[in-house]
Structure 1
Amino acid sequence: MNPVQHENPPVSEDEKLLHSMGYAQELSRRMSGFSNFAISFSIICILAGGITAFPSGLSAGGGAAIGIGWPVGALFAAIVAAAMAQIASAYPTAGGLYHWASILGGKGLGWVTAWINLLGLIFVVASVNFGVYDPFFKTLVAPLLGINPDKLTWTEQTLFIGGITLSQAWLNHMGIKITSKLTDISGYLIFAVSTVLTVSLLVYAKGPLDFSRLVQFTNYTGADGSAWPKMDNSVMVFLAGLLLTVYTLTGYDASAHTSEETQHAAHNVPKGIIRSVLWSALFGYIMICTFVLVMPDMAAGVKSGMGFLDLLLSTLPAPLKAALGISIFLCNYLCGLACLTSTSRMMYAFARDGGLPFSHQLKQVHATHRTPVLAIWVSAILAIAATLYGDAFLVLSTACAVLLYISYVLPTAAGFFAEGRSWTHKGPFSLGAASKPIALLATLGGGVLAFVGMQPPNEKVLYITIALLVVLMFFWFVLGVRKTFKGPPVGERIERHQAHIKEIESVLNES
């Protein structure tokens, strides 16, 4: 086989592979390899999680939670990403995690994975857009517009979050072309803004930089302004600091969810997953280490909480601070846009197999824009509803990370047991002999990261997870969903779908 053709198969090969899994090419396959990387990189967005979750890391183990904790957490995330990338290469479909778990572990595991992943994605949209408002709009942009942040109420908050979420839904509605162009810009913007922010803080830093801060372990739990109650166990304090990494380095399943819109998906999707994590880990580490190094006083930084960024930016000239504030705000808006894209594709894919109420409506694709329009708008409305909860950001930001990592672990663990048995087909990206060790480490590492997110004061996340599992088991066993839900097409069902696939594509192409 010609090696060039193997690396860059013609687009028709994508459709052929999708047909072989029993699905029609309904969505528009217009995303390049870079666009697939950019959508995950935009969701990870170190200028979102790296800033909003920074106080949780600093107020746990101090500088060591950043200098040592971030690389440890990033290693876990990279291992999980590698395991997911291998499965994504073999099964490049929208709603990837649900599809993988179903094929490798059975339709029951797939159904549970789908609900956990979908709820986690809705919480991601909600938490990111909540963060767009507070702290980024209130702290950085509102003063530039002459608005007193102290006078903004719950009503303004709700209207603002609702407005930006609906605007993101409209952009998604209009087609993947405009969305991918915006997330491409977001990818470049994150690189540029994080670099300018880092360099600016170093240039205008007051006093010499003390690099020993990055390895100094100080237990700030229970201190004034700390995100954590008092803990005496140093191991638990260190693990608590990993929440910074858990919340920031997540959302890279977006590359998988947009598989059916990505050219040469079996090659580009695994690359998008892995590269988004590695580049985010590198640039994020440099940026947050800079925060620690230029902070005038560590205890004061802990006490300031989310105000730490405004505290650091106050050392910069006013025009530079304003430019960075607006740029960070824009990056976070585009992060929310990408999150909504990922969520709607998961909802569409699950509805396509009849896994949701009103599945027939939610799986419909607009004939002109080739987007799952109802899934987009329902995702947006659910995300807005989630922000109405009083303590929304803390619960949403932690819950989304925990639920997503649980949904990452389930198909990975299923792949560990299925490999060499029911799973014999690998895609172009294969881990080879390292496959099972990496899957095992990914399962354990993802479990640790999810465990961290359930620690007090985030015990509400544990309650949400338990409640969700109880409800899912009730529907599956008591209400008989296990008898009515068929899951992804397999075996003879794929063959029976072929005529229907041609009919669906013919109708869309004629529209």
Structure 2
Amino acid sequence: MQVIGGLVVIIMLPLVAHPTQPASYVFTHFETAPEDTGISSKLYAVIMSVLLSNYCLYGYDAAAHLTEETKGSDRTGPIAILTSIAIITVFGWAYNLALTFSIKNPSYLYDVNNETAGALVPAQIIYDAFYGRFHNSTGAVVFLCIIWGSFFFCGLSVTASAARVVYALSRDKGIPFSPIWRRIHPKHKVPTNAVWLCAVLSTILGIPILKLNVIFTAIISISTIGWVGSYGVPIFARLVMAEENFKPGPFYLGSRASRIICLVAFLWICYTCSAFLLPTLYPITWNTFNYAPVALGLVLSLIMLWWFLDARRWFKGPVRDLDIHNGNI
């Protein structure tokens, strides 16, 4: 359903918006809109422009979470991750091209007086395309419903992935009230309590977004930094690990190539995490400030405080399946 909906938007939007922007505009023009965004630096615009791809490409995280539950995960896991990246790359690139080719009035996109108050640029592009062609917004509403439907199914996937993480952590006694969250439903064989916990927390975090755009920016930034940064830990460990202590799996490019790739990946992760801490609008006010650094610092401080005061005395790391089967949890 998501693939079909995505193809409809990617193919139909440029046809509706005809005539479209020339390729020279799409691939060479910088639209900083300093009057509305407060950003005049092209370099800063480039940094901001890659945030979407940084966020979307990490959809492989869901595939990585499920490798533990698949047969032959040392092979099927990497295949699923690479396939996910390939699909997201193709569709994401096509979607961005469809949007940029379909822009009608660049100076109007960030105008606070436009139909989306200058805050929803993709929605404004779709609206301008349909209104300019048919003088009504019915088609734009249909397209936005397709996109919102994709968001909904994406939310379900993220919730399922988050529930899987909650279950794994509770299985390892890594979060409060672990016996509750690791409980498996006797009939459906899923951690129902963990799923409901993630659904409730997602709802609570999502409600303020309806009123404040800065909350959405902060949540997206924190979530991306959280899972991207988590991959930086094992990648950095691989960089500093002695070669004789590393046991390669089936997907291995050799010592020299793997270290180069790890270095590039680690530097990219550092860049990504840094970029998501930057403001997206200037001048900085209470309504434009990126609260991700504050929230991230607070969460990390609480976790470290909990670790030093309590958790380090009892948390011993992941519980092995053998221990679980023997009842030692």
Common fold by TM > 0.5: yes
Q: Of the two structures, which has the highest relative contact order with CA contacts closer than 8 Å and spacing of 6 or more? A: 1
Matched, 1:480 2:310: yes
Offset of 1:499 from its aligned partner?
6.4
- Which residue of 1 is the match for residue 76 of structure 2? 268
- Which residue of 2 is the match for residue 291 of structure 1? 99
What CA distance in whole angstroms lies between the structure 2 residues aligned with 1:333 and 1:485?
Answer: 36
- Residue 296 of structure 1 aligns to a residue in which SS? coil
- Residue 291 of structure 2 aligns to a residue in which SS? helix
Q: How does 1:335-350 map to 2 (within 5 A)?
A: 335-350=154-169
What CA distance in whole angstroms lies between the structure 2 residues aligned with 1:213 and 1:330?
Answer: 30
The code of the aligned residue for 2:90 comes to L
Kept in 2, the 8 Å contact 1:416–1:439? The answer is: yes
What CA distance in whole angstroms lies between the structure 2 residues aligned with 1:499 and 1:242?
Answer: 44
Change (3 A) 1:246 1:196: same
The code of the aligned residue for 1:484 comes to W
- Residue 387 of structure 1 aligns to a residue in which SS? helix
The code of the aligned residue for 1:205 comes to A
Please identify, of 248-257 and 213-222, the stretch whose mean Cα deviation from structure 2 is larger: 213-222
Offset of 1:428 from its aligned partner?
2.2
What CA distance in whole angstroms lies between the structure 2 residues aligned with 1:459 and 1:329?
Answer: 24
Kept in 2, the 8 Å contact 1:243–1:449? The answer is: yes
Query: For residues 8-64 of structure 1, what are the alpha-carbon distances to aligned partners after superposition, in whole Å with 9 as ceiling and x for unaligned?
Result: xxxxxxxxxxxxxxxxxxxxxxxxxxxxxxxxxxxxxxxxxxxxxxxxxxxxxxxxx
Change (3 A) 1:294 1:459: closer
1:426 to 248, 252, 257: 248
The code of the aligned residue for 2:66 comes to T
State how many pairs are aligned: 304
Query: For residues 414-440 of structure 1, what are the alpha-carbon distances to aligned partners after superposition, in whole Å with 9 as ceiling and x for unaligned?
Result: 222236254x22322223242111111
What CA distance in whole angstroms lies between the structure 1 residues aligned with 2:324 and 2:21?
Answer: 65
Change (3 A) 1:499 1:242: closer
Kept in 1, the 8 Å contact 2:159–2:199? The answer is: yes
What CA distance in whole angstroms lies between the structure 1 residues aligned with 2:119 and 2:299?
Answer: 31
Matched, 1:223 2:35: yes
- Which residue of 1 is the match for residue 7 of structure 2? 195
Unaligned 5+ segments in structure 2 are 112-117, 280-287
Q: How does 1:38-437 map to 2 (within 5 A)?
A: 189-218=1-30, 220=32, 222-224=34-36, 226=37, 230-303=38-111, 304-306=118-120, 307-308=123-124, 309-314=126-131, 321=140, 323-389=142-208, 390-391=211-212, 392-418=215-241, 420-422=243-245, 424-433=246-255, 434-437=257-260
What CA distance in whole angstroms lies between the structure 1 residues aligned with 2:268 and 2:40?
Answer: 23
Change (3 A) 1:352 1:500: closer
Change (3 A) 1:221 1:442: farther
1:439 to 262, 270, 283: 262
Query: For residues 352-400 of structure 1, what are the alpha-carbon distances to aligned partners after superposition, in whole Å with 9 as ceiling and x for unaligned?
Result: 1111001122111122211111111111111112124352322212222
Unaligned 5+ segments in structure 1 are 1-188, 505-511
Change (3 A) 1:431 1:242: same
The code of the aligned residue for 1:452 comes to A
Query: For residues 445-497 of structure 1, what are the alpha-carbon distances to aligned partners after superposition, in whole Å with 9 as ceiling and x for unaligned?
Result: 011011111012453111112112221221122x13222110014xxxx5xx6
Q: How does 1:16-35 map to 2 (within 5 A)?
A: none
Matched, 1:469 2:293: no
Kept in 2, the 8 Å contact 1:255–1:269? The answer is: yes
The code of the aligned residue for 1:352 comes to R
What is the TM-score of this pair, normalised by structure 2?
0.83
What CA distance in whole angstroms lies between the structure 2 residues aligned with 1:400 and 1:241?
Answer: 18
What CA distance in whole angstroms lies between the structure 1 residues aligned with 2:193 and 2:106?
Answer: 48
What CA distance in whole angstroms lies between the structure 2 residues aligned with 1:381 and 1:208?
Answer: 43
Change (3 A) 1:221 1:475: farther
- Residue 270 of structure 1 aligns to a residue in which SS? helix
Query: Identity, % of aligned pairs?
Result: 23
What CA distance in whole angstroms lies between the structure 2 residues aligned with 1:388 and 1:446?
Answer: 29
The code of the aligned residue for 2:240 comes to F
Alignment root-mean-square deviation, CA: 2.5
Query: For residues 232-260 of structure 1, what are the alpha-carbon distances to aligned partners after superposition, in whole Å with 9 as ceiling and x for unaligned?
Result: 54323321222222232223211121223
The code of the aligned residue for 2:307 comes to W
What is the TM-score of this pair, normalised by structure 1?
0.55
